[in-house]
Structure 1
Amino acid sequence: MTAYVVGAGLAGLGAATALAAERAAVELSEAAAQAGGRCRSYFDAQVGLTIDNGNHLVLSGNLAVRQYLERIDAQPLTGPAAAEFPFVDLATCQAWTVRPNPGAVPWWILSAERGVPGARFGDFLAMAGLLRARPGQRVDQAIRCSGPVWDKLMRPFLLAALNTEPEAASAELASQVVRETLARGGAAYAPRLPAQGLAATFINPALDYLEAQGAQIRLKRRLLRIETQGDRVSALVFADDRQPLAADDRVVLAVPPTVAVELLPGLQAPDQFEAILNGHFRRRAPAGAPAILGVLNGLVEWIFCFDDRISVTVSGASRWMDTPREELAGRLWADVARALDLSDGLPPWQVVKEKRATFRADVEQNARRPTAKTPLRNLVLAGDWIDTGLPATIEGALRSGAAAARLVRDAVA
């Protein structure tokens, strides 16, 4: 049996490495010249540094991420020993740090030093309505989207996780995010970052692992067509050749939804997307600056301080995609300078627009997500856009890859 994995983003790499770990023969094909998909690093001549295409925050409780990194023997993620989230409000210049306790009983919400400024116990209790959210509900139908806890903690947290305006997002997805993080205690949501970049942590070690296991990796190989016979895939037609499939071969299709629906007529998949805007500035952060800083009432939403640069992220950023990059760089840096108390002029910069970063995490788009299984008995799907129960995140992508590998193993067992 050969497992043909099409797509070398995180979902495809997750499936391929899981199958290779079981000694399966794996052939990984990717249309682009590099693996990683939306999780990649590259040298940018304008800023003069190796940067990531985006800032992807991982949490300590992300089990699929941890299992994947252990499997490929990647360098560990970095971050504070305990959950800690500094914030600054650019409208009021107020700064505070949320410091949850590790356990599931959230006594931290009663502490003025650890909690949200101006919040009372009832404000936190009101957010528990998300845990009772019903399928088909929007977030603003499940809870009241106002008050200090919503404004200063839940809204920025959910906006980052869902990449969709939280009030209009799927309460079902928001509920699952909360169940796997906030509801489990601070030990489950301490922030984690790749110290040496996305490629060095998530991509290059996976490719090295696959090569060591004897897998074939073929880049710049676009899948043009899937041939079928009855209820099975009979051949994969790539731009450079046609690959017939043996009776026991399996296919993991780990491509974006826009590609999947072209290859599989009749497939229902998300068709509305949200953008993410990222800015990178060649400037070291001032001494004592937090590694991650949440920003309220600015264009910037999160600031990431690395050894050689300051990077920022704006989620749900479709409205900014037509704004000139030079204008965005100036506005983003103005927020950084205020948040970090800097007097510098604009340093060397790069602005990265991901126009289709994730599917829109609303009720309608969530309902369009297919399962990993398909009517073709030797083909399964993987990707953060399939029905993982989570929004489009690194954890969701890797979870889908692991699930696809299990389906392949079960089919040939």
Structure 2
Amino acid sequence: MVTDVASERGTVHVVGAGLAGLSAALRLAEAGERVVLHEAANHAGGRCRSYEDRELGRRIDNGNHLLFSANRAALDFLTAIGARDSLIEQAEPVFPYLDLATGARFTLRPNAGRIPWWLFSTRRRVPGSRLRDYAVLWRLMRATRRDTVAALAPADGPVYRALVEPLSVAVLNTAPEEGSAWLLGRMLGLSFAKGGQDCRALIVREGLSESFIEPALRRLAALGVETRFATRLRSLTLEGTRVVALQFNAATVALGPADRLVLAVPAPVAASLLPDLAAPTEMRAIVNAHYRLKRPYLPANGVPFLALLGGTAHWVFFRGDVASVTVSAADALADEPAEALAPRLWADVAAAMGEPKAPLPAWRIVKEKQATFAQTPAQIARRPAAAGRLDNLWLAGDWTDTGLPATIEGAIRSGVTAAALAAGAAAVPDRRAKTASAASTGPLASLMTPPPVAEISALGAVPAAN
């Protein structure tokens, strides 16, 4: 079956309903474009969504995310879909820690202003650290694309253990020995270096779907976007430098002269559709664990998350009677049986709650062996730009060359960029010669300047069976 969906300005087909695709579709629809959104799964959200877990009897997120107030693109997206108030936002930056090896608890408290006077206060910085130890953060912010984190940050001292290594693992989903110092430096420069006002933590109040996905779908529907689920893109038909047809599992969609395509799919899928595409090829795992507690729990300090040092778990989040654990850069754990991981990670949660002998409750282990691409210098060199050699195709996704780590912020920003290019190309026949000029003055011109960004959590895992 061949379907012709051409309109006066043409139609923009957005393939992939993760955050990159939703962001692109939203911006295009707001700019007056006719948009059709295609998704291979029966649901939207990709690696950022919630689902009902029968084992726990609760609705849980498939991964944990901690946004920063510097996440301008993410916050603008939430505002546009009417969900800005669905996040819990810190009044001031407070990051509680528990050292599982020693039992010590401490809290990092950056001050609000740009001058980091908090580094002079022993009560606000990492215990046992000296002012000069924080020079490593400056070195990371001056890193080149060839540098690894470990090359610029020697693996010793309290600042490395409590700040550099945890941030590298969480932000890059890659160990410091191979992680990109340039990407980590970008995150630091656009958050901590700008003061506490840009690194206040935000978490979703109910769930990822309730904040990011369901409101986005409602907003897209109100804007007239047609969304097609269970529609997997199998191949592209090319003629010269244009895509002329999309081969889906149940239909072929012909593209007219004015039709355009935003490909917002994972890197391996994009590479299979575009064999000459240079894209990241190495992936890294994330493991999450969810536990149903006997009663709702909130730490005494009122902060619903905790950074863990010296154990297996990296972060634990509390929402009602569910405790959720994240382990990033978890390739070594991803092959272990869930039955072995559940009690091992529960021991860290129980210690965090001050109940080290608490029995193992109902649990769910969530694994994703390809949660993000490996954010190493070699792999970031393979990130493609949004625009390539095809005149009517643009790429979006956290794996594209956003200049940011593979996070929610990067995914949304990539969608904004692709949307601006696609909208700007509508009235320009020779896209390769004139797209940038058209986009800079078109309906999405204000979106071409990337917003500041920082986010502490890599994109989470997709649910997998225990």
Task: Give the alignment's TM-score, normalised by structure 2.
Answer: 0.87
Counterpart residue identity of residue 339, structure 1 = A
Q: Which residue of 2 aligns with 1:168?
A: 178
Q: Which residue of 2 aligns with 1:48?
A: 57
Q: Which residue of 1 aligns with 2:76?
A: 67
Unaligned runs of 5+ in 1: none
Q: Which residue of 1 aligns with 2:398?
A: 384
Q: String of CA shifts for 1:172-191, please: whole Å, max 9, x gaps.
A: 11111111111111111111
Counterpart residue identity of residue 419, structure 2 = A
Deviation of 1:208 after TM superposition, in Å, equals 0.3
Q: Which residue of 1 aligns with 2:219?
A: 209
Deviation of 1:102 after TM superposition, in Å, equals 1.1
Q: Which residue of 1 aligns with 2:246?
A: 236
Say which of 83, 98, 115 aligns to 2:93. Answer: 83
Check whether the contact 1:145–1:167 (CA below 8 A) recurs between aligned residues: no
Unaligned runs of 5+ in 2: 1-9, 428-466
Q: Which residue of 1 aligns with 2:439?
A: none
Task: State whether structure 2 residue 40 is matched by structure 1 residue 31.
Answer: yes
Say which of 322, 336, 339 aligns to 1:323. Answer: 336
Q: Which residue of 2 aligns with 1:288?
A: 300
> Secondary structure of 2:335's match?
coil
Counterpart residue identity of residue 367, structure 2 = K
Counterpart residue identity of residue 159, structure 2 = V
Query: CA–CA distance in 2 between the matches of 1:190 and 1:278?
Result: 23
Say which of 3, 7, 11 aligns to 1:2. Answer: 11
Query: CA–CA distance in 2 between the matches of 1:257 and 1:36?
Result: 16
Q: Which residue of 2 aligns with 1:260?
A: 270
Residues 297 and 287 of structure 1, relative CA distance in 2, 3 Å threshold:
closer
Query: CA–CA distance in 1 between the matches of 2:182 and 2:170?
Result: 16
Say which of 405, 418, 429 aligns to 1:404. Answer: 418
Q: Which residue of 2 aligns with 1:334?
A: 347
Q: String of CA shifts for 1:377-397, please: whole Å, max 9, x gaps.
A: 100000000000111100000
Deviation of 1:141 after TM superposition, in Å, equals 2.1
Q: Which residue of 2 aligns with 1:297?
A: 310
Counterpart residue identity of residue 162, structure 2 = K
Check whether the contact 1:383–1:401 (CA below 8 A) recurs between aligned residues: yes
Deviation of 1:42 after TM superposition, in Å, equals 0.5
Of stretches 340-349 and 280-289 in structure 1, the one that deviates more from structure 2 is 280-289
Task: State whether structure 2 residue 351 is matched by structure 1 residue 348.
Answer: no
Query: CA–CA distance in 2 between the matches of 1:156 and 1:185?
Result: 19
Counterpart residue identity of residue 24, structure 1 = E
Query: CA–CA distance in 1 between the matches of 2:323 and 2:22?
Result: 28
Query: CA–CA distance in 2 between the matches of 1:66 and 1:155?
Result: 27
Task: State whether structure 2 residue 134 is matched by structure 1 residue 124.
Answer: yes
Query: CA–CA distance in 2 between the matches of 1:96 and 1:359?
Result: 32
Residues 150 and 404 of structure 1, relative CA distance in 2, 3 Å threshold:
same
Q: String of CA shifts for 1:55-109, please: whole Å, max 9, x gaps.
A: 0111111011011111111142113211110001011111100000011111001
Deviation of 1:145 after TM superposition, in Å, equals 3.4
Query: CA–CA distance in 1 between the matches of 2:155 and 2:257?
Result: 54
Task: State whether structure 2 residue 196 is matched by structure 1 residue 186.
Answer: yes
For these two proteins, the number of residue pairs brought into alignment is: 413
> Secondary structure of 1:333's match?
helix
CA RMSD of aligned residues (A): 1.1
Counterpart residue identity of residue 300, structure 2 = G
Counterpart residue identity of residue 330, structure 1 = P
Deviation of 1:353 after TM superposition, in Å, equals 0.3
Task: State whether structure 2 residue 323 is matched by structure 1 residue 314.
Answer: no
Counterpart residue identity of residue 139, structure 2 = G
Deviation of 1:169 after TM superposition, in Å, equals 0.7
Say which of 361, 374, 377 aligns to 2:375. Answer: 361
Say which of 220, 223, 232 aligns to 1:222. Answer: 232
> Secondary structure of 1:246's match?
coil
Q: String of CA shifts for 1:300-348, please: whole Å, max 9, x gaps.
A: 1101011231111000001111111011110111111112212421111
> Secondary structure of 2:182's match?
helix
Query: CA–CA distance in 1 between the matches of 2:365 and 2:348?
Result: 14
Counterpart residue identity of residue 354, structure 1 = E
Query: CA–CA distance in 1 between the matches of 2:170 and 2:147?
Result: 20
Check whether the contact 2:98–2:352 (CA below 8 A) recurs between aligned residues: yes
Q: String of CA shifts for 1:6-49, please: whole Å, max 9, x gaps.
A: 00000000100111111211100000010000011100001110
Query: CA–CA distance in 1 between the matches of 2:367 and 2:227?
Result: 28
> Secondary structure of 1:100's match?
coil
Q: Which residue of 2 aligns with 1:200?
A: 210
Q: String of CA shifts for 1:108-128, please: whole Å, max 9, x gaps.
A: 011111111011110012331
Query: CA–CA distance in 1 between the matches of 2:292 and 2:199?
Result: 29
Check whether the contact 2:267–2:280 (CA below 8 A) recurs between aligned residues: yes
> Secondary structure of 2:285's match?
strand
> Secondary structure of 2:307's match?
strand
Counterpart residue identity of residue 192, structure 2 = L
Query: CA–CA distance in 2 between the matches of 1:141 and 1:134?
Result: 11
Counterpart residue identity of residue 285, structure 1 = Y
Stretches of 4+ aligned residues off by more than 4 angstroms: none
Task: State whether structure 2 residue 103 is matched by structure 1 residue 103.
Answer: no
Query: CA–CA distance in 1 between the matches of 2:212 and 2:56?
Result: 23
Deviation of 1:197 after TM superposition, in Å, equals 0.3
> Secondary structure of 1:104's match?
coil
Task: Give the alignment's TM-score, normalised by structure 1.
Answer: 0.98
> Secondary structure of 2:348's match?
helix
Deviation of 1:287 after TM superposition, in Å, equals 5.3
> Secondary structure of 1:211's match?
helix
Check whether the contact 1:227–1:237 (CA below 8 A) recurs between aligned residues: yes
Aligned-residue identity in percent: 47
Query: CA–CA distance in 2 between the matches of 1:277 and 1:383?
Result: 21
